[in-house]
Amino acid sequence: MSKVVTGIDKSGSFRVYVTITTDMVEEARKIHNTTPLATAGLGRVLTGAGLMGILLKNEDEKLTVQFKGDGPAQQILACANGAGDVKGYVVNPEVNLPLTSKGKLDVGGSLGIGTLTVIKDLGLKEPYMGQIDLVSGEIAEDLTAYYYISEQQNTSFALGVKIARDYTVEAAGGMFIQMLPNPDEKAIESLEQMIGEMKPLTAVIEKVKEENPVLSELGLCEKLLDEIFKDMPEAYAVSKLSDTEIRWNCDCSRERIERALMTVGVSEMKKIIEEDGQAELTCSFCTEKYKFNKEELEKLKPQYEDLREKTDADSTLVNYVKASRPASKFSKMLADDEKGTRLNELKGIIKNTEIFKKYADMSVQDIRLSQQNFNGKIQLQEDSISVFKEISEKVNPSVKEEAPLQQKTEVKVTEKVQEEQVIGGPQ
């Protein structure tokens, strides 16, 4: 359980959230058995996501923060909700790189060049999604840039994870400053100066701990807030508003895994039952394994038949597109399509997007199917999804002219598709 203390400055120019997440990050380290470099990256992302989750208005609202790059860590992903639950994983928990020239763990290098995607599910029909290119891959800087670019908000993040000699987490924490409407110019200047001169957050946490050895977690967090802002001018002195907590919690369940399992496709399921006679799926967040024997798989079948329609549309689409790939062929095909027959055909497919949405909902969340048994199968799904996107893009201009409503449907689906790709993670 990690405490989070919220404070506000005297002039009402900014709000700040500070947290000490040593326990939460250590728990994630144990679950994923991460190297120090992976622990640092994952710990920062978990802490950042947890702080962002606090801003959600309702407990059941959730967000996903995904850092994806061409570096050896590949991807670091975390989910948080308004109730303070946080979970996450790094695709390559064994990532290892030399320290940077400053002697720091090279989190930016482990991610490389890539993107930061934030998806917020606010219980509305469609999730909100924002994406930026990674600034440095050092996480805090990227999250700050995300708020500035995608949400037009001035914020500042500081995130830190310090690894002990035995590779456990010695200290971890985060700070998130959010400028409020119409801030004092001087407040911004003072903040910038303070941030510029600030020691690494973990050093401040350790100092506070050393000075207050008997304080509770909450007391320590309050002290941390005081310590960080102790040199602010009196007009912008920070005082505590409230406190809350965030914690590691994976909400996976057998039921959810069953739903994921049901997306493999009618014929694939048959094949699994006949050839493997069993299935094992691993939750990518908490690494919990879910085993299904033949009987259990067969029991899933009746529910699964209901999804036949989806599967058929899926394969129709894949076949259709396989015949017409690559994308340049699409453009040509549409250009040659004087009677609009093929265009209509494509539109028909796009009309079936409800099916795809259903599909995205089901495999959403978290479930990375482990086991060679499943890899090939999910690959097929992702393939069809990217193909689907391709079609949407190609058909988009024409649809726009003729039927604005349909275009709207399309945009929504594209978002869903992206969410699916994001949340499903690589295999």
Binding segment (CB under 5 A) for Zn ion, from list 89-97, 129-137, 278-286, 396-404:
278-286
Kindly state the smallest distance separating residue 363's Cβ from Zn ion, in Å: 15
Kindly state the smallest distance separating residue 30's Cβ from Zn ion, in Å: 14
Quick check: 283 binds Zn ion (CB under 5 A)?
yes
If the CB atoms of residues 116 and 246 are measured against Zn ion, the closer one turns out to be 246
Instruction: Annotate 151-181 with DSSP letters as a single string.
Output: S---EEEEEEEEE-TTSSEEEEEEEEEEEPS
Strands (E), 220-340: 238-248, 278-282, 289-293
Site string for Zn ion, 230-259 (x = CB under 5 A): --------------------x-x-------
Alpha-carbon distance of 196 to 216, in angstroms, equals 29
Kindly state the smallest distance separating residue 286's Cβ from Zn ion, in Å: 3
Alpha-carbon distance of 299 to 353, in angstroms, equals 28
Q: Which of residues 6-65 bind Zn ion (CB under 5 A)?
A: none
If the CB atoms of residues 159 and 250 are measured against Zn ion, the closer one turns out to be 250
Kindly state the smallest distance separating residue 251's Cβ from Zn ion, in Å: 7
Sheet holding 114-121, edge to edge: 128-133, 114-121, 62-69, 75-81, 85-90, 238-248, 2-9, 14-20, 169-179, 155-163
Kindly state the smallest distance separating residue 366's Cβ from Zn ion, in Å: 7
If the CB atoms of residues 49 and 252 are measured against Zn ion, the closer one turns out to be 252
HSE at residue 34, side-chain half, CA atoms within 13 A, is: 31
Quick check: 262 binds Zn ion (CB under 5 A)?
no
Kindly state the smallest distance separating residue 87's Cβ from Zn ion, in Å: 7
Q: 3-state SS of 194-218?
A: HHHHCCCHHHHHHHHHHHCCCCCHH
Kindly state the smallest distance separating residue 85's Cβ from Zn ion, in Å: 11
If the CB atoms of residues 216 and 253 are measured against Zn ion, the closer one turns out to be 253
Contact 38, 110 (CB under 8 A): yes
Quick check: 91 binds Zn ion (CB under 5 A)?
no
If the CB atoms of residues 252 and 264 are measured against Zn ion, the closer one turns out to be 252
Contact 107, 142 (CB under 8 A): no
Strands (E), 224-288: 238-248, 278-282
If the CB atoms of residues 356 and 374 are measured against Zn ion, the closer one turns out to be 374
- Please tell me the count of residues contacting Zn ion according to CB under 5 A: 6
Q: How many CB atoms lie within 10 A of CB 372?
A: 8
If the CB atoms of residues 20 and 24 are measured against Zn ion, the closer one turns out to be 24
Alpha-carbon distance of 215 to 218, in angstroms, equals 8
Residues with Cβ within 8 Å of 349's Cβ and at least 6 positions away in sequence, in order, are 313, 316, 317, 320, 391
Contact 361, 367 (CB under 8 A): no
| Tokens matching residue 289 | 């394994």
Quick check: 286 binds Zn ion (CB under 5 A)?
yes
Quick check: 285 binds Zn ion (CB under 5 A)?
yes
Binding segment (CB under 5 A) for Zn ion, from list 90-98, 117-125, 275-283, 408-416:
275-283
If the CB atoms of residues 4 and 250 are measured against Zn ion, the closer one turns out to be 250
170: left (phi over 0), alpha (psi -120 to 50) or beta: alpha
If the CB atoms of residues 15 and 32 are measured against Zn ion, the closer one turns out to be 32
Kindly state the smallest distance separating residue 284's Cβ from Zn ion, in Å: 8
Kindly state the smallest distance separating residue 287's Cβ from Zn ion, in Å: 7
Instruction: Return residues touching Zn ion (CB under 5 A).
Output: 250, 252, 283, 285-286, 288
